């Protein structure tokens, strides 16, 4: 995958982040509308979409853009797409409304149902997580970029931490699927020991696994494909994996619905997670 394309995508995401911050930092009262699926939408979601959609369409000739903030093409149309951009202009709108900073701009390039390039940009912190798949003559690239510079990221090994008596570190949604996660924690603790949990909003949870700051993210509540694709590309480039409850790799644009199955983001895929995660 072309590193130059990744850098161009990062630049576009940063511009969308600037559009979000104009709304976020405004003194005007934040207006929140409700979409047909009861999810919230703000002027910031729409402002970011207006930056991302045309810029990405120009970036790769003939590659369509699928954004949360647009009318959804039919599956009959989408199934013809070998490659396309999938975009969540503002992932974590509820966190945006709460003004806690835990929201992101998510952009991924899908090829053959697989996320091959992804950028997750955190506007409030000016942090970028980025990753792209390697090719025949190149290795995968995954990094975290802050104001202090760029650092390669990699998922971490779990067994040495267990051998040292350290807990399994699990990251979970602040507002979804708590009961199912609690039961999973009980299973893991009965099998391997202590579990430490951290709650966070948006796709930052996947990024924590990618950078080796967490071992597992179970998502046992609904998400859409634009919520996960960008961060999944980062996780996979960093050596991790994202699987559904049957341990099949999470893939895209394979059905009419854009809802994901429940899934697990796994850092150390060499660890035998299956007995702990399957009922």
Write out the binding residues. 68, 88, 90-93, 227
CATH 3.30.540.10-classified regions of the chain: 3-152
Strand order through the sheet with 241-244: 195-200, 168-173, 216-219, 263-266, 241-244
Q: Which of 3.40.190.80, 1.10.3720.10, 3.20.20.70, 1.10.10.60 would CATH assign to domain 159-277? A: 3.40.190.80
pLDDT per residue over 120-156, tens digit each? 999 999 999 999 998 777 889 999 999 999 999 999 9
Confidence of residue 174 (pLDDT cuts 50, 70, 90): low
What is the pLDDT averaged over residues 28-46? 79
pLDDT per residue over 239-259, tens digit each? 999 999 999 999 999 999 999
Provide the pLDDT for residue 112: 97
Instruction: Please state which CATH class domain 3-152 belongs to.
Output: alpha beta
Mean pLDDT of the chain: 93
pLDDT per residue over 86-117, tens digit each? 999 999 888 888 888 889 999 999 999 999 99
Write out the binding residues for substrate. 68, 90-93, 227
Write out the binding residues for Mg(2+). 68, 88, 90-91, 227
Q: Is the pLDDT of residue 177 over 60?
A: no
Provide the pLDDT for residue 176: 54
Closest CA to 235 of 203, 259, 257, 273: 203
CATH 3.40.190.80-classified regions of the chain: 159-277
């Amino acid at each position: 995958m072309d590193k130059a394309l990744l850098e161009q995508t990062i630049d576009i995401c940063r511009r969308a982040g600037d559009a979000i911050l104009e709304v976020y930092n405004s003194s005007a009262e934040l207006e929140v509308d409700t979409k047909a699926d009861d999810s919230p939408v703000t002027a910031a979601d729409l402002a970011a979409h207006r930056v991302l959609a045309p810029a990405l369409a120009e970036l790769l000739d003939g590659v369509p853009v699928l954004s949360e903030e647009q009318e959804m093409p039919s599956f009959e149309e989408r199934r013809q797409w070998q490659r396309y951009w999938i975009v969540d202009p503002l992932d974590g709108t509820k966190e945006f409304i709460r003004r806690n900073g835990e929201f992101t701009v998510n952009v991924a390039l899908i090829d053959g149902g697989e996320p091959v390039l992804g950028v997750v940009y955190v506007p409030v912190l000016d942090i970028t997580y980025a990753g792209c798949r390697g090719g025949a003559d190149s290795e995968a690239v995954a990094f975290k970029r802050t104001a202090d510079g760029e650092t390669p990221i990699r998922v971490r090994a779990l067994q040495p931490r267990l051998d040292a008596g350290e807990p399994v570190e699990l990251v979970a949604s602040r507002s979804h699927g708590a009961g199912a996660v609690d039961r999973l924690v009980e299973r893991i603790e009965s099998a391997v020991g202590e579990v430490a949990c951290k709650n966070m909003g948006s796709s930052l949870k996947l990024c924590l696994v990618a950078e080796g700051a967490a071992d597992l993210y179970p998502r046992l509540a609904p998400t859409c494909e634009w919520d996960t694709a960008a961060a999944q590309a980062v996780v996979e480039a960093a050596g991790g994996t994202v699987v559904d409850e049957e341990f099949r790799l999470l893939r895209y644009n394979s059905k009419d619905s854009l809802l994901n199955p429940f899934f697990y983001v796994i850092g150390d895929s060499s660890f035998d997670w299956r007995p702990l995660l399957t009922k």
